[in-house]
Amino acid sequence: MIKTRVQPATEANTVPNAVDVLRTGGLVAIPTETVYGLAADATDGEAVARIYEVKGRPSFNPLIVHCANAEMARTFGIFDDTANKLASAFWPGPLTLVLPHKDGSLVSPLVRAGLASVALRVPIGVSADIIAALGRPLAAPSANLSGRVSPTRAAHVMDQLGSAIDMILDAGACQVGLESTIISLAGEEPMLLRSGGVPVEEIEETLGCAVARSRSDAPVEAPGMMKSHYAPRAMVRLNATEITQEDGALNFAASGLSARHSLNLSPDGDLREAAANLFEYLAAFNRLDVKRIAVAPIPQLGLGAAINDRLERAAAPRA
């Protein structure tokens, strides 16, 4: 149990206080113009793992990376003419752009849940000031428990996440009151992934062309199933207790699988650390050209469920 501090967003020390919490890996519920977000430093893998833990999601859904301005966003995503047009027309504001991720960006791989794309948005209000003062982007899903509605007041956040997070900034009711519109520019043509604060008609008017609608309203039902440079090329074997030298070994705690290439998700058996390392280590095995990865048993507790979910997808037969 944590004592959750609630602070009005307009006080003079609100921004520095929130920055202090975020800098040390803490979680802050931030008001945005759309809904309240549950924010962590997007470059801090363990802080991002805490977001999944607190929301109680059984899988790693990719998170939106919130930036102080378009200039910051450009360091994480690859902008083409269409992206530039939409960013200058609608940022700051309730529009999220899914763009090809820029290699080598500082965003934790866990934020993208293994996808080759990144979702970027520039919010309005105190959260943009916090991001600018922190000098780093914030990963922030809506600040609700998994399966509940998105909060539009600080009290909604307190009801669901009080005593699980460090701080809630209270700016009253959110102006828009529903989530950002999500447009993907990572595919062949612009695609509406989620309707939200910016009507799609306004986007079409800005672009001078129609925007395709994604067939389902859930844009990434199973991020782990999607093609990406984090999807391991190697065959994955779960609950391994023995191993051959040619395999790659993915250990957890004291599992002690030993091979030419061995990594340990968390030598201390810390599931938060394991979640933070997961996508990075799968990518490392890819680069090493390991043909088979033997994964030690990982407890199906807390974040372990989401870690196992991702590994099970990786182990599933390929088409």
Q: Shortest approach of ligand TXA to residue 258 CB, angstroms? A: 35
127 binds, among Mg ion, ligand TXA, none (CB under 5 to 8 A by kind): none
Does residue 219 bind ligand TXA (CB under 6 A)? Answer: yes
Does residue 32 bind ligand TXA (CB under 6 A)? Answer: yes
Does residue 152 bind ligand TXA (CB under 6 A)? Answer: no
Q: Which 76-115 positions form the footprint of ligand TXA (CB under 6 A)? A: 96, 98, 112, 115
Q: Which stretch binds ligand TXA (CB under 6 A): 119-127, 233-241, 253-261, 274-282?
A: 119-127
Question: Any residues with CB less than 8 A from the CB of 75 and at least 6 apart, and which?
Answer: 102, 105, 106
Q: Shortest approach of ligand TXA to residue 94 CB, angstroms? A: 6
Contact call for residues 169 and 18 (beta carbons, < 8 A): yes
Q: Which two tokens stand for residue 193?
A: 């992934």
Does residue 162 bind ligand TXA (CB under 6 A)? Answer: no
Could you tell me how far CA 10 lies from the centroid of its own chain?
27
Q: Shortest approach of ligand TXA to residue 88 CB, angstroms? A: 19
Q: What angle is formed at CA 6 by the lines to CA 5 and CA 11, rounded to 5 degrees?
A: 115
Written in H, E and C, the secondary structure of 180-232 is CEEEECCCCCCEEEECCCCCHHHHHHHHCCCCEECCCCCCCCCHHHCCCCCCC
Burial of 313 (0-12, 13-18, 19+ CB in 10 A): middle
Helix/strand/coil for 146: coil
Binding-site member from 118, 158, 295, 311 for ligand TXA (CB under 6 A): 118
Q: Which 35-64 positions form the footprint of ligand TXA (CB under 6 A)? A: 35, 37, 61-64
63 binds, among ligand TXA, Mg ion, none (CB under 5 to 8 A by kind): ligand TXA
Contact call for residues 14 and 171 (beta carbons, < 8 A): no
Does residue 182 bind ligand TXA (CB under 6 A)? Answer: yes
Does residue 255 bind ligand TXA (CB under 6 A)? Answer: no
Helix/strand/coil for 125: coil
Q: Which residues bind ligand TXA (CB under 6 A)?
A: 32, 34-35, 37, 61-64, 96, 98, 112, 115, 117-119, 121, 123, 140-142, 179-180, 182, 184, 193, 219-220
